Amino acid sequence: MSRDATRPPRLRLDTPVTYLKGVGPVRAEALRRLGVVTAGDLLYHIPHRYEDASTVASIASLEPGMQGTVIGRVVSKGVLPTRKGLRIFQAVLRDDSGMIEVSWPGQPYLDRTIAKDDVLLVSGNVRFFHGRQLQPREFVNLGDEENGTAQGRVLSVYPATEGLSFKVIRGIIDAHLGELLPLVTEYLPQEVLAAAAVPTIGDALRMVHRPTSLAEALEGRARLAFEELLFVQLLQQRAKALARETRRGIHFENKRDLTTRLRESLPFQLTGAQARVLREIFADMCSERRMQRLLQGDVGSGKTIVALFSALLAMENGYQAALMAPTELLAEQHMRSVTKLLEPLAIAPLLVTGSLKARARKELAVRLANPAPALVIGTHALVQEATLFGRLGLAVVDEQHRFGVEQRKALGAKGESPDVLLMTATPIPRSLALTLYGDLDLSLLDERPPGRQPITTALRPESARERVLQFVDREIGKGRQAYVVYPVIEESEKSDLKAATTMFEILSSGPFSERSSALLHGRLPAEEKDAIMRRFRDGAIDLLVATTVIEVGIDVPNATVMLIEHPERFGLSQLHQLRGRVGRGAEASFCILLGDVSPETRQRLDVFVGSEDGFEIARADLDLRGMGDLFGERQSGVPTFRVADPLRDELLNEQARAAADRLLAADPGLDAPANAPMRRVLGERYARSLELFRVG
């Protein structure tokens, strides 16, 4: 055997991590769970936070009232119970200058993860409580490192997994970083880097893994966030451009017949936002390309009237229009409001739902198969194979996030390329909407119709419970109705949350025993839920005890009180949607948050109490909770961001959009040699780019 044959293979970016020194099969499997399969993947396993050990103070120098960061060895530890049942984990740390007690209230589990002789880096407030005590804001267990090893450095804290600590990951990356960095070549064009003022990829990866300061770590992260945003913008804008090329649509003409008659018959003036959005939609519908537009508007901003004008434009051109709602109750609500608005025009809309009798369904099928103009309102029954349209020109999807991608596509596939208008009442900032829905055109209803009374919103402590319930009862005594909302259906041994089922029994047999009440939650059969909501809508129920199943529901103008218990368990946007269930009539309405909350939670809830602007609330919610928590499942086709946050990185997002504009304007297919490296990386990261840019 030759001498060369005994040498380990030369490290490459595609080398499996199993062959890296210090890894092996067990650690390789743990790394795979983190998405790290190759040596190159290690470079893009980015720290999720940093601890600044470059400003470490000596323990002896800490004084009460200070904020400080120390590194010390654990000399003793234990869990202390308190009279109130709270268990506190305490550890005593020592460095060369002295000792200090560190206290973690309510975290007894740390006793299992922190061992005697471990070295901890701890940042927090210093207070005097039977001696000096440090209350940690952040801490890192450095294991058995010597104090001097970490001191003076910015420590990278990596996403970890069971059986593989961040410290082990840091050691693996440190051991191979010097050999891996030279293998990385730049793939973004130089002019793009210069315009965004971000470092090259090699420098950025060194900065995030081995920063000399927190500022340098942030500079490296900015480059990685920018490229993620740039790639998404390229994909979205290319998808939109290709769709415009291929989607020949119906060329409507603004005849100002039915639309003018509706405008003249309305008992109110359109808002400036509604007029602006209608101009955008009409321009789309009167062009030769197919409309694919998202209409985003806050609760009560008047999306339905916009959809109705759009439908009439299709109808006055001899086409049919369809409005699809997620539930029969919402479809019936649209049917009632639209029927009333269309009475002066002598137009009667049609209703298609799954509960129609066979005879009525057959009659409707015959009517829809006829190409005569019509407005049909319905549920997912509209997209079933049995529902055929003679001449569908416009498809409107209300609360579009409640439908699957395939259901939305199925309605758009009815007829011959009808225009599509998607509507959502979940307000998100425009910069984020343009990223999530970049392959759609975006219209924004950011103005509430005049005359809507503001909803009085308040946060009340548990001690005010009796007064709050008396207030709700007085409102019901005036002939009004009320909601009481809980975060969970049933009580649990693991939680001390009040539950809807238990509280329904307490409320209906106690404070509201003289009132008609009902319980509504997600586990009830659909027919029972619909029946309860109909009875509440019709005034047969005074008090509706519910979970968030009523978050997006029907209009009950007579409901004037929304009482929400355990408000800390809800996101701000969710609270805003719940508040939107009241304030729909002429009477003063109220939203009351009830419960004792921490100072941090109160600060968050004060944002909600102080604003009725859904976009402002959504921005605060995103800042506090992050995109994943707010949106749940990602939109289909939208890549998950590993580093970037389109809201917090708003400036980078704008720069990425501008860069994508310039690149695609000059080279729509990214075919130029200068763009080849970027096309290659797009192909490696996003399968979707294969069809958009024909990347091999």
Torsion of CA 384, 386, 387, 390, to 10 degrees: 140
Q: Which residues fall within 8 angstroms of residue 643, CB to CB, at 6 or more apart?
A: 46, 221, 224, 225, 228
Alpha helices in 96-189 (DSSP H): 147-150, 166-180
Residue pair 607/626 in contact (Cβ under 8 Å)? The answer is no
What is the identity of the amino acid at 388? Answer: L
Q: How far is CA 161 from CA 37, 158, 166, 524, 550, in A?
A: 14, 10, 8, 38, 37
Backbone angles phi, psi at 383, to 5 degrees: -100, 0
Angstrom distance (rounded) from CA 470 to CA 460: 13
Cβ-Cβ contacts under 8 Å for 259 (sequence gap 6 or more): 309, 312, 313, 316
Which run of H or E residues covers position 560? strand 559-565
Tokens representing residue 474 in the block? 């007085």
Would you state the pLDDT for residue 497? Answer: 58
Ranges in the chain, pLDDT < 50: 1-3, 5-7, 147-148, 493-494, 628-639, 696
Per residue, the 3-state secondary structure of 379-428, as one string, reads CHHHHCCCCCCCCEEEEEECCHHHCCHHHHHHHHCCCCCCEEEEEECCCC
Distance of CA 651 to the CA centre of its chain: 19
Residues across the chain: 696
Q: Around Cβ 128, how many Cβ atoms within 10 Å?
A: 10
Angle at 230 between CA 224 and CA 233, to 5 degrees: 145
Three-state DSSP class for 617? Answer: helix
pTM for this one?
0.67
- Beta-ladder partners of 561: 482, 590
569 secondary structure, DSSP code: G
Predicted local distance difference test score (pLDDT) of residue 135 = 79
Instruction: Assess contact for 559 and 581: CB atoms under 8 A.
Output: yes
Nearest alpha carbon to residue 579 among 453, 488, 461, 467: 453
Dihedral sign from CA coordinates of 231, 236, 242, 245:
negative
DSSP conformational letter for 164: B
Q: Is 74 within 8 Å of 91 (Cβ atoms)? A: yes
* Separation CA 102–CA 81 (nearest Å): 15
Q: Residue 322 is encoded by which pair of tokens?
A: 């369809």
What is the 3-class SS of 670-690, one letter each residue?
CCCHHHHHHHHHHHHHCCHHH
CA 112/CA 108 separation, integer angstroms:
8
Residue with tokens 């002066």: 344
Q: Is 179 helix (H, G, I), strand (E, B) or coil?
A: helix
What angle, rounded to 10 degrees, do the helices at 166-180 and 201-209 form? Answer: 150
* Rounded Cα distance, 463 and 441, in Å: 49
What's the CA gap between 336 and 194, in Å, rounded? 57
DSSP bridge pairs for 421? 293, 396
Residues with Cβ within 8 Å of 189's Cβ and at least 6 positions away in sequence, in order, are: 663, 674, 675, 678
User: CA dihedral defined by 199, 201, 202, 208, rounded to 10 degrees?
Assistant: 80
Rounded-to-integer distance, Cα 378 and Cα 147, Å: 68
